[in-house]
Amino acid sequence: MISNIAFFLGGFLLTVLVLMGLLDATHGTPVSFVSARGGKEPAGVDDPLFLDTIEIYTTTPLHDGHEFEIFHNGDETYPRLWADIRAAKRFVAVQMYYCAKGKVADQLHEVLCDRARAGVDVLFLHDAFGSSLKGDYVKSLKAAGVEVARFRPVRIQTLNKVRHRAHIRAVVIDAEVGYTGGFGIDDKWLGDGRTDGQWRDTNVRFTGPAVRQLLGTFCSCWAEATGELIAGHYFAAKKADATRGGSSVVAGLLHAVPTVGSTDAERFFALSIGSAKRKLYITNSYFVPDDDFRRMLTLAAKRGVDVRVIASGPKTDVKSTYHAGRAIYTELLKGGVRVYEYMPTVLHAKTMVVDDAWGTIGTMNADNQSMAFNNESNLLVLDKTFAAELEKLFMEDLEHSKEITLDEFRKRPWYWRPVEHGAHLVARIL
């Protein structure tokens, strides 16, 4: 009798633990709409209240005093990046999710070792899941004086963190120059983004106070990986960058971190959509918004906003996400959202521009993994020139994209529908 009770209790406890694990591994985010209360609409992106609200909800201070360069793909990004690293005088901090052997990895190795041998502090943090760099590569970096760490290595004792990845791309040079975007350390980012095999991405180089915010993003992840919390002179910047002033470009670096409830990433995305009055242009490689975000997008279209989305086309590198995204096209198209698929090659860019004024470039995808589980890095910018450049890129990408119309989409082969709906059923874990 006692053994039967013990067996029952053990089985019940195991069932509860398994259920807790499944629920944790598939949880979403809770925000379903944006409201200003009192019958009013949320402030537009050109209203000071919008910036105040973004700062409060994303814990991201927004300052003026920035300059930026937007890079279209690897051919524009890497030469500038290598030159900045070679010019480092005090330190170089690099954090990358995706790393693989090839020409780009060799170039990174060369510039990091060069600076380390010159006496510059060089720190390199790569995600244990996204990086496939071999032991010899890491050993030779360390032999040259580069400090290397892996973020959240997959071990039995850390299985509870296996879905929580550092999807961040961060490069900081001397607390004065910062880079983020969708790029990684791999040869597929080389090229112009218009040719098959040359991934299409958007990256940004910037100066100003947001650089130290990006450094804080790196240092918090470095602290988790190594136990060392870096403080002091690393955060010293040029006097002009230390306070508001200089350039009128207002910006901040959002470091989105996972939690069990509403996240900074979710609130940023929701507020940006909910505050759009005229235009909302989204380019996103893994576009699988949940039912709440789909509702926000269609509500924006119904209130007269020109809502357009460029998503990955059939050449995507993640077919399951592609099919899961296509499962929601009918709902979006019926709601007035215009949807396009990028055709020449893999689309990997993550950008958004709102009402000719507000924009972002970074690592955040429009899926549950980014909203609920990943560490992400996005530069948030309030500036008409920045927004105009992003819109120009968006319109150029439209020329290489196919618009999905409702009538045509309904005529797709029947056998794709169960594939799409099956993928969508597991969208929260893709």
341 touches 402 (CB < 8 A): yes
pLDDT per residue as tens digits for the range 249-289: 999 999 999 888 899 999 999 999 999 999 999 999 999 99
Residue 422 resides in a domain: yes
Domain count, the chain: 1
Residue 289 resides in a domain: yes
Q: Name the pTM for this structure.
A: 0.93
Residue 253 resides in a domain: yes
Residue 410 resides in a domain: yes
- Pick the more confident residue, 144 or 130: 144
326 touches 339 (CB < 8 A): no
As given in the structure block, the two tokens for residue 144 are 């040259």
Number of Cβ atoms within 10 Å of the Cβ of 227: 8
- Could you list the beta-strand ranges (E) of 260-357: 279-284, 306-312, 338-342, 350-354
Mean pLDDT along residues 70-89: 97
Residue 53 resides in a domain: yes
Mean pLDDT along residues 119-128: 96
Residue 30 resides in a domain: no
Domain hosting 368: range is: 41-429
Residue bearing tokens 């924006």: 300
95/277 Cα distance (integer angstroms): 36
Residue 255 resides in a domain: yes
Would you say residue 248 has pLDDT above 60? yes
Residue 5 resides in a domain: no
Residue 181's domain is classified under what CATH number?
A: 3.30.870.10
pLDDT per residue as tens digits for the range 159-172: 666 677 889 999 99
Mean pLDDT along residues 378-392: 98
pLDDT in the model for residue 411: 94
pLDDT per residue as tens digits for the range 6-61: 666 666 666 665 565 555 667 788 899 899 888 788 999 999 999 999 999 999 99
